[in-house]
Amino acid sequence: MSDMIRVLVVDDSVVIRKMVSDVLASDPAIEVIGVAANGSIALDKIDKLKPDLITLDIEMPVMDGLETLKELRKLHPRLKVIMFSTLTERGARASLDALSLGANDYVTKPANVGSVAAAQQCLRDELIPKIKGFFHRGPALPAKAPVPAPAKQPVASPVVSPAASVRPGLRQRVDIVAIGISTGGPNALMEMVPTLPKNFPVPIVIVQHMPEMFTKLLADRLDQKSDIQVREAAAGDKLAPGLALIAPGGFHMTLVRKGAVVETALNQDAPENSCRPAVDVLFRSVSDLYGANVLAVIMTGMGQDGMLGCQKIKAAGGQVIAQDKESSVVWGMPGAVAGAGLSEELIPLNRLGSEITRRVQAARFGSK
């Protein structure tokens, strides 16, 4: 069928190639058009087979995944690539490097799951939705949703100051920024967070759908590149202005108030929206503590995690904004929020940091 998603599987392990191929071939929307044992063979087959997407192992002989990705992006800048990595610190570092080189997403290889059938199910649950997500147009935008202005050129990092302009109508004081993000998130955060000024006046809490180890490495890289502080959250971390805390992989993050101090709390309750950490869990907690004084930001990502949390924040009087479709890798999460009529504005990635800063400062410096 011409509308099937054509996939090339690249891995040096015969066992993994067969497992991935069998799992993908079991889905009627996906056609496995070939396999390759290393990057050199893969580059040759891409030209001949013209896949829509490739799954690319990171550690391979002859030409590994990162080398392959560098060459592939020179010749096929729009080909969708999902990296395959191990759930180790080395695998996490390589996956983040791959994303920075242009990979669209990654999955971790099933490990210690007990059986071949369980490993296949893990792949079925994680890989197939990601593949389909890249070829899904997303929810339709309601007519009443605001239409963003054409994207402007990237702007310099804003500096919070009383003299800065404030948009009319943005009068509710923001005491916390809560961000939900998934597919395409590491690169989007690496672009957006460094635009926030060092004297950012409120705390930031973030859920990025990633496994354990990955979230700490992402936080460390963001911290090195940004003027604000960025850390992976630990239980009992105190929220502070200019500090961004990222929920650790494998844990839901909530907030608790202890006197005048707000701290993080972590739990391993059941996943929500098939995710842990889940955006909805964090957003509910933020809304409970901060009421109307919340700015929720939904960025690129698959699925609709965060939509119910945005409903709660909006009902409490808080503000909700979302990344626009054009700059999102996958317009699932922001599209769901926009489709529900919850987003006040859809904003290109290159303007998102300045818009967050503007909204945070709006009521803080005397705007009536």
Pairing of β 346-347 and β 319-323: parallel
Q: Same domain for 247 and 346? A: yes
At residue 53 the predicted structure's pLDDT band, cuts being 50, 70 and 90, is very high
Q: How many whole angstroms separate alpha carbon 179 and alpha carbon 189?
A: 10
Final residue of a structural domain among 133, 157, 187:
133
Whether a cis peptide bond, with omega within 30° of 0, leads into 201 is no
Q: Same domain for 116 and 217? A: no
pLDDT at 197: 97
pLDDT at 110: 84
Range of the domain at 28: 5-133
CATH number, domain with residue 98: 3.40.50.2300
Final residue of a structural domain among 106, 133, 160:
133
Report pLDDT digits (tens) over 286-296: 999 999 999 99
Final residue of a structural domain among 70, 105, 133:
133
What are the helix (H) ranges across the chain?
14-25, 39-49, 65-75, 89-100, 116-133, 185-192, 214-225, 279-290, 307-315, 333-339, 349-362
CATH number, domain with residue 357: 3.40.50.180
Q: At what angle do helices 307-315 and 279-290 cross, to 10 degrees?
A: 10
Q: What is the average pLDDT across 50-75?
A: 96
Q: Are 300 and 330 in contact (CB under 8 A)?
A: yes
Q: Does residue 252 carry a pLDDT above 50?
A: yes
Q: Same domain for 41 and 108? A: yes
In-domain check, residue 186: yes
pLDDT at 87: 80
Task: Output the CA angle 263-295-158, nearest 5 degrees.
Answer: 100
In-domain check, residue 152: no
- Phi-psi region for residue 290, left (φ > 0), alpha (ψ -120 to 50) or beta? alpha
Q: Does residue 143 carry a pLDDT above 80?
A: no
pLDDT at 158: 38
Tracing tokens 């990092």 back to the chain, one arrives at 157
Give how many domains the chain has, as a whole number.
Answer: 2
Q: Are 42 and 8 in contact (CB under 8 A)?
A: yes
> Going by C-beta distance under 8 Å and a sequence separation of 6 or more, which residues neighbour residue 315?
none
Single out the residue of 211, 294, 193, 197 nearest to residue 250, CA to CA.
Answer: 211
In-domain check, residue 150: no
Q: How many whole angstroms separate alpha carbon 173 and alpha carbon 339?
A: 26
- Looking at residue 256, its amino acid is V
Q: Same domain for 212 and 125? A: no
Q: How many whole angstroms separate alpha carbon 86 and alpha carbon 109?
A: 5
Q: How many residues in total does the chain contain? A: 368
At residue 171 the predicted structure's pLDDT band, cuts being 50, 70 and 90, is low
Of 12, 209, 285, 287, catalytic: 209
Q: Same domain for 129 and 216? A: no
Tracing tokens 């979302």 back to the chain, one arrives at 322
In-domain check, residue 165: no
Of 57, 237, 280, 305, catalytic: 305
The CA–CA distances, whole Å, from 9 to 37, 121, 127, 132 equal: 9, 17, 12, 15
Q: Are 223 and 246 in contact (CB under 8 A)?
A: no
Active site residue 182: yes
In-domain check, residue 56: yes
Burial 282-303 (b: 16+ CB within 10 A, else e): bbbbbbebbebbbbbbbbbbbb
Q: Same domain for 122 and 237? A: no
Task: Specify the 3-state DSSP secondary structure of 249.
Answer: coil
In-domain check, residue 143: no
pLDDT at 135: 87
Q: Same domain for 126 and 211? A: no
Cα 333 off chain centre by: 9
Q: What is the pTM of this model?
A: 0.87
Q: Does residue 81 carry a pLDDT above 90?
A: yes
pLDDT at 86: 86
Task: Specify the 3-state DSSP secondary structure of 131.
Answer: helix
Q: Same domain for 262 and 331? A: yes
Q: Same domain for 16 and 118? A: yes
pLDDT at 193: 98
CB 14: neighbour CB atoms within 10 A? 10
Cα 329 off chain centre by: 9
Q: Same domain for 121 and 222? A: no
At residue 166 the predicted structure's pLDDT band, cuts being 50, 70 and 90, is very low
Of 182, 226, 285, 354, catalytic: 182
**Taking every pair of C-alpha atoms in the chain, what is the biggest distance, in angstroms?**
66
Q: How many whole angstroms separate alpha carbon 300 and alpha carbon 140?
A: 16
Report pLDDT digits (tens) over 184-242: 999 999 999 999 999 999 999 999 999 999 999 999 999 999 999 999 999 999 999 99
Active site residue 305: yes
Q: Same domain for 186 and 110? A: no
Least confident residue range of 140-149, 191-200, 293-302: 140-149
Report pLDDT digits (tens) over 342-365: 999 999 999 999 999 999 998 776
Q: Same domain for 187 and 53? A: no
Pairing of β 261-267 and β 252-258: antiparallel
Q: Does residue 147 carry a pLDDT above 80?
A: no
pLDDT at 137: 40
pLDDT above 90 covers a percentage of the chain that reads 83
Q: What is the average pLDDT across 20-45?
A: 96
Mean pLDDT of the chain: 89
